């Protein structure tokens, strides 16, 4: 099955789960969204994400790193007069992106951090050293917790998903290099 077919299948599944058709583009989500406010609507724009989905152009959004700026605060959903679950749509798009292996590198490493340490941004050794110097207890990295996290990640197929993403990225990179080499040659 090629990517386009897969996209179509996933888009249909998504349309069944999230009803965006009643969106009348009023912009409540944009003015409610903390990320839109901070980025002045430049980087992350929920109304345009819904619009693109309605226009059947969701695939164009998938490789954009801005898709991952959503904080999942659900303010868009709460403020929507048509009850369009914008944040759920974004989550679905994120899932779709990861399924296709186009998750940005920083998100991948963040997920790996969580599985390995329980922290999205794991405290470094130097940070813990500084804490001790300042009279604060070091942040523990429990062995048992780490083991549990690994079990969960495995059971939820997060590990295999990560593996696929990495493979996909590696393949892309190899292809890029091949093209470049070909170009040079």
Partner 1 sequence: MVAAIAKAKKPIEEKPRIGVFVCECGRNIAGVVDCNALAEGAAKLDGVVATKVNKFTCADPGQEEIKRIVKEEKLDRVVVAACTPRMHEPTFRRTTEDAGLNQFFFEMANIRDQGTWCHASDPEGCQVKAADLIASAVAKAHHLEPLEVLKVPVTHTALVIGGGVSGIHAALDIADAGYKVYLVERSPTIGGIMALLDKTFPTLDCSICILGPKMAEAARHPNIELITNAEVTRVEGFVGNFKVQVNQRPRYVDIDKCNSCGDCQTVCPVLVPNNFDANLGWRHAIYIPYPQAVPAAYMIDPDHCLGLSPKECMMCYDACNKAGQEAILPDDTEKIHEFDIGAIIVATGYEPYDPTPITEYGYGVYPNVITAMELERLINAAGPTEGKVIRPSDEAKPHSFAFIQCVGSRDERSNIYCSGFCCMYTIKNALLLHEKYPDAEITIYYMDIRTNFKDYEEFYQRARRAGIRFQQGRPAEITEDPKTHNLWVRAEDMATGKPTKREFEMVILSTAAVPSRGTEDLARVLNVPVGPSGFYMEAHPKLKPVDAATEGVFFCGSAQGPKDIPASVAQGSAAAARALRIITQDEWEIEPIVAVVNPELCRSATGKCGICVSRCAYGAITADPGTAAYVTPAKCHGCGTCVAECPANAITQMHFTDAQIMDQIRALLKDNPEDKIFAMLCNWCSYAGADLAGISRYNYPTNVRGIRVMCSGRMSDQFILEAFRLGAGMVLMSGCRLTETGSDCHYITGNVWAEKRANRMSAYLERIGMDPRRFRLEWVSAAEGDKWATVTTEMAEQLKEMGRDFIVEENERLRPEIEKRITRLTKREKPKPKPKAKAKTKSAKVKA
| Residue from 14, 29, 49, 96 binding partner 1 (CB under 8 A) | 29
Site for partner 1 in 60-119 (CB under 8 A): 75, 79, 81-83
- If one counts every other C-beta atom within 10 angstroms of the C-beta of residue 26, the result is 13
Q: Of 26, 127, 171, 172, which one interacts with partner 1 (CB under 8 A)?
A: 26
Angle at 71 between CA 91 and CA 126, to 5 degrees: 120
CA 168 vs CA 66, 68, 98, 99, 172: distances in Å: 20, 19, 10, 10, 6
Can you tell me which of 20, 28, 59, 103 binds partner 1, judged by CB under 8 A? 28
Q: Could you say whether residue 49 binds partner 1 (CB under 8 A)?
A: no
Q: How many residues bind partner 1 (CB under 8 A)?
A: 23
- Residue 34 belongs to what H/E stretch? helix 34-38
CB of 77 to partner 1, least distance (A): 11
Residue in this structure with the two tokens 């490789």, named with its chain if needed: 63
CB of 66 to partner 1, least distance (A): 14
Q: How far is CA 120 from CA 5, 107, 108, 110, 154, in A?
A: 34, 9, 10, 5, 18
Per CB under 8 A, the segment of 1-9, 25-33, 66-74, 104-112 that binds partner 1 is 25-33
- C-alpha closest to that of 103 among 169, 32, 47: 169
We find the least distance from the C-beta atom of residue 60 to partner 1, in angstroms, to be: 17
**In the complex with partner 1, which residue's Cβ is closer, 79 or 166?**
79
Helix, strand, coil percentages in the chain from 3-state DSSP, rounded to 5: 70, 0, 30
Residues of this chain that bind partner 1 (CB under 8 A):
22, 24-33, 36-37, 40-41, 45, 47-48, 75, 79, 81-83
């Amino acid at each position: 099955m090629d990517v386009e077919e897969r996209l179509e299948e996933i888009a249909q599944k998504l349309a069944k789960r999230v009803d965006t058709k009643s969106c009348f583009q009023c912009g409540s989500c944009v003015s409610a969204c903390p990320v839109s406010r901070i980025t002045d609507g430049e980087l992350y724009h929920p109304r345009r994400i819904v619009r693109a989905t309605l226009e059947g152009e969701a695939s164009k959004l998938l490789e954009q790193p801005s898709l991952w700026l959503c904080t999942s605060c659900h303010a868009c959903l709460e403020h929507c007069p048509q009850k369009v679950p914008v944040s759920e749509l974004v989550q679905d798009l994120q899932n779709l992106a990861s399924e296709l292996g186009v998750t940005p590198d920083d998100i991948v490493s963040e997920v790996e951090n969580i599985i390995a340490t329980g922290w999205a941004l794991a405290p470094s050794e130097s940070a813990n050293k500084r804490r001790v110097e300042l009279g604060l207890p070091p942040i523990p990295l429990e062995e048992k917790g780490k083991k549990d996290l690994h079990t969960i990640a495995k059971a939820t197929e997060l590990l295999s998903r990560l593996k696929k993403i990495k493979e996909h990225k590696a393949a892309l990179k190899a292809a890029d290099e091949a093209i470049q080499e070909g170009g040079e040659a």
